[in-house]
A and B are shown apart, each in its own frame.
Chain A
Amino acid sequence: MNVSFLRCALSVSLLALSGAALLPACSPTDKTPADAAEQLPFIGEREVKPRADGGPADTVYATIPDFRLTNQDGQVITNQTFAGKVYVTDFFFATCPSICPKMQSELLRVYTKFKGDPRVLFLSHTIDPAHDSIPVLRDYAQRLGIPDASRWHFATASHDTIFALARTYMTAAQVDKGVAGGFAHSGAFALVDPQRRIRGVYDGMNPLEVQRLLDDLPVLLREVEREQKAAK
């Protein structure tokens, strides 16, 4: 009995020990900022185009198509508004009772962190353009603590334009009368580079995923810096 009990106690403690040994593996590995070659992946479809001269084929990554939206200040914004910048985008609506407040408070966290860095912009699209007029968007933005559209655009367009864009930004959004608020949508954030390519998609409802975005942003900014230097 005693021996068996000891064995039992031993196995319990061994289990505890192995748990402790596993713990370090759970903590995120330290990123080395010195690693200049570190690069974010390209998200979405890609196309390999053979070259006419028989040289190595070019890989063409999916890009965000041309768009034309209106922001909370009533200004027209297009891809040109984001030229040379990286931006983070999401889809929301002002009266959204389910995931939006949490999602927008997470995006606000990212905004606050990069407030002083004009290379990073933010773009929130309303998926309820019928209700979210420009004054509604302006009121929403100001209540969130965003005084104007210089860094964070709250944008609207026709229903079809917005929903087509949502797909290209990897966000699922659809009209669903069965859910609270009337729209079903995912709380995804997409990170877009100056060449309009998506470099990360994050669940805006999950603080750990948002932390990943916070970690990825400087990596992308360093890449942009390298490319801009090389182009000079």
Chain B
Amino acid sequence: MRGRPLLLACAGLLGAALGVSGCFTERQNESAKLYATHCANCHGARGEGLQRLIPPLARADYLVKNRARLACVLRKGLTGPVVVNGVEFNQVMPAADAHLTDSQITNLLNFIQTSWGNQGEVLTIREVEAQLEGCGVIPDGH
């Protein structure tokens, strides 16, 4: 009778020791996970891009110059040439469409705005929603 609760306590302690870091970082890492899932294959694990094929996100002037339409870039994608840090890129960026919710787009943008040396101004979900409402008319290059 006495052994069982202690055994449970023991297991609990063990579990706490193993799981404690996981519990606390779960939410915090959500945006990093979104980035890893949806962006990193092309833009690189550290936003470094790929040569002249895929533009970098780290320290990219494009993010500063186009802050007002970044949410639309994620939702609608991009086609045609873009210039980032003085280099011309011309690849299709697929549209996230319904794959990402407004709040996920906000999370993702703020992760990008504050990672790898970026010091962009973060966006509120209201700002993102307002941007997304105007996306329907964005030229898609066709």
Contact = CB atoms under 8 A, between A and B. Distances in A.
A181 B42 CA distance: 13
Contact of B41 (A4, A101, A142): A101
A12 B17 contact: yes
B41 to A, nearest CB: 4
A146 B30 CA distance: 37
A134 to B, nearest CB: 17
A102 B92 contact: no
A99 B14 contact: no
A183 interface: no
Contact of A143 (B3, B14, B44, B53): B53
A137 B25 CA distance: 43
B53 A102 contact: no
Interface in A1-27: 1, 4-5, 7-8, 11-12, 15
B3 to A, nearest CB: 8
Interface in A135-189: 140, 142-145, 180-181
A101 B50 contact: yes
A101 B42 contact: yes
B1 interface: no
B75 to A, nearest CB: 15
A11 B94 CA distance: 51
Interface in B1-36: 3, 6, 9-10, 13-14, 17
A105 B44 CA distance: 9
B9 A8 contact: yes
Main SS class of interface, A: helix
Given A12-B14, A95-B91, A144 B51 contact: yes
B6 A8 contact: yes
A97 interface: yes
A98 interface: yes
Nearest to A139: B90
Contacts of B93: 97
Nearest to B5: A4
Contacts of A97: 42, 92-94
A115 to B, nearest CB: 14
A228 B44 CA distance: 41
A99 B41 contact: yes
A145 B51 contact: yes
A161 B41 CA distance: 28
B126 interface: no
Nearest to B79: A95
B132 interface: no
B51 A143 contact: yes
A96 to B, nearest CB: 9
Contacts of B53: 101, 104, 140, 143-144
Interface of B: 3, 6, 9-10, 13-14, 17, 40-42, 44, 50-54, 91-94
Nearest 5 pairs between A and B by C-beta? A8-B10, A143-B52, A97-B94, A102-B41, A101-B42
